[in-house]
Structure 1
């Protein structure tokens, strides 16, 4: 992703979750708030992205709004984003029953957990860790929607290519490295180097008793 631009993959992920929630039955994972968080200008950027697909590069083929809609709908048929989200939250529920008190979402993007699951926010401190540009996009959209942040939701900006997780988490006075925690890291590691990934996993800020869901 570009230094000053929000992650397109984070927006695409939200589109997948929103499309599935609105149109698919049965539902693997019902993110009924995802659609609200997607800025219209961002959705237009995704459509432009798909319009550059090689299937549209044929000079005899005219790209139409219908073409773009079909391509976007086809993209959202992927179940990997949905299944990993469902699995993560299912495992998190079990982890909470076993004493987990902190939920750290690495590369949170437009995640809506803190707003969808108020019943779990009573027993968890939730930390959304993401690139500053992507996090700023989300915070701006939440402000536009007039959403009040849950008391136990905390935002921590970080660029994983320049800063380690331990340093980032220490910026939040609410994070306690001695407390049993649950970390999810979905759809991010493929954009990082091997060393950046293992540096994060070896972070001193990660309690030894922590659970991890990584995709």
Structure 2
């Protein structure tokens, strides 16, 4: 983690591509493309179109068709679905009195810079590893974007046992306020005991009624029973130097959350994600259907 996150860059690329190539969108991130240089965008496009031989060896078509297939089939489903799930849940939480939004492992998340009017009452905290945070700040500066007055950036490494001190020490952070935390794309890359400790640490510093949203790979992810996309995602992450380390059954997850004083408020399986979050897009794009990623579930947990 000494360098900027490659998976975070690819996630930004997938959001950018989706926003640029579709009128009806699952998730509309118009700023993602601006965070990537033309060279980065073209390099990722080229690499991913060539990767069609790995993802779908039977494919026949042009380079652009190959890129679209890889993005829609392999890259976009998780970043688009989980961001939609998280921001929909955040909107509900904000309407019910949540006043702080903590974005863990923020990567190249752009919510603070495209926040709707209802979010201006929130204090937003982007919490990320120093290397990725520094790189994002450079990109924002190069774009000459105004930093929102309600945005606060905090460096933290979850492998550092004292990572909470940076959050608690932020003058704008209030331990007494109901908060909403997102941990998207994190559970895969942390050992189980570390992820449980992170959840425990977050729950311990927030009041009852606070929410945590995250995605997680199910118990079949590292087995031969996993979907083909999931198996290839595991291989791709390892090649990128960011190997996946954990997966969870629903009962295991439920027990782990109960152990840190959290209960499952909402839970979506792949079929529900496709039906609820991708429906309008799929109806508008019969030739470019998208289905939720194999073996990945979404969870919204609330502190008791």
Same fold (TM over 0.5): yes
1:124-160 per-residue CA deviation (whole Å, 9 max, x = no partner) reads 0000011111111110011101011000000011111
CA separation of 1:54 and 1:97: change in aligned 2, threshold 3 A: closer
Tell me which residue corresponds to 1:59: none
TM-score normalised over the length of structure 2: 0.61
Match of 1:105 among 103, 106, 112: 103
Tell me which residue corresponds to 1:149: 147
CA separation of 1:6 and 1:45: change in aligned 2, threshold 3 A: farther
CA separation of 1:14 and 1:178: change in aligned 2, threshold 3 A: same
The answer to whether the Cα contact below 8 Å between 1:107 and 1:131 also exists between their aligned partners in 2 is yes
Q: In the alignment, does 2:71 pair up with 1:76?
A: yes
Tell me which residue corresponds to 1:60: none
Gaps of 5+ in 2: 55-61, 216-304
The answer to whether the Cα contact below 8 Å between 1:156 and 1:171 also exists between their aligned partners in 2 is no
1:76-113 per-residue CA deviation (whole Å, 9 max, x = no partner) reads 21322211111111111110111000000011111111
The answer to whether the Cα contact below 8 Å between 2:48 and 2:70 also exists between their aligned partners in 1 is no
The answer to whether the Cα contact below 8 Å between 1:121 and 1:152 also exists between their aligned partners in 2 is no
CA separation of 1:208 and 1:200: change in aligned 2, threshold 3 A: farther
Q: 1:53 and 1:153 mapped to 2: Cα distance?
A: 37
Q: How many residues align?
A: 203
What is the DSSP-based 3-state SS (H/G/I as helix, E as strand, rest coil) of the residue aligned with 1:183? strand
Q: In the alignment, does 2:191 pair up with 1:196?
A: no
Q: Name whichever of 118-127 and 39-48 sits farther off.
A: 39-48
Instruction: Please state how far the C-alpha of 1:45 moved relative to its aligned partner.
Output: 5.6
Q: CA RMSD in A?
A: 2.2
Tell me which residue corresponds to 2:30: 32
Instruction: Please state how far the C-alpha of 1:48 moved relative to its aligned partner.
Output: 7.1
The answer to whether the Cα contact below 8 Å between 1:164 and 1:199 also exists between their aligned partners in 2 is no
The answer to whether the Cα contact below 8 Å between 1:18 and 1:34 also exists between their aligned partners in 2 is yes
Tell me which residue corresponds to 1:176: 174
Q: 1:43 and 1:21 mapped to 2: Cα distance?
A: 14
Tell me which residue corresponds to 2:240: none
TM-score normalised over the length of structure 1: 0.85
Tell me which residue corresponds to 2:243: none
Gaps of 5+ in 1: 57-65
- Kindly report structure 1 stretches of 4+ aligned residues shifted beyond 4 Å: 47-54, 69-72
Pairing of 1:41-56 with structure 2 (within 5 A) = 41-43=39-41, 46=44, 50=48, 53=51, 55=53
